[in-house]
Amino acid sequence: MSQQAVRSPCVSICALDGDDVCIGCYRTGEEISRWGGMSEDERQTVMKKVAEREQAAMNFIPVSS
């Protein structure tokens, strides 16, 4: 069974913040520059980090039930 290719999270909003993280896709500058040469496993690892960064950046207060 072949593994599905991990697509780039780029949303064409390319600007790095003070922590060297893109405000559009939440990848670091290094992750962006290395993306084309990464294995699928490396890309999956980056996507997990992207999800964590995106969630941390949301700055929301959870609503309790």
Domain range list for the chain: 10-56
Read off the pTM. Answer: 0.81
pLDDT for residue 4: 79
For the chain, percent of residues with pLDDT exceeding 70? 85
Burial 29-64, CB ≥16 within 10 A → b, else e: eebbeebeeeeeeebeebbeebeebeeeeeeeeeee
Residue 1 predicted with pLDDT over 60:
no
pLDDT in tens, 11-29: 999 999 999 999 999 999 9
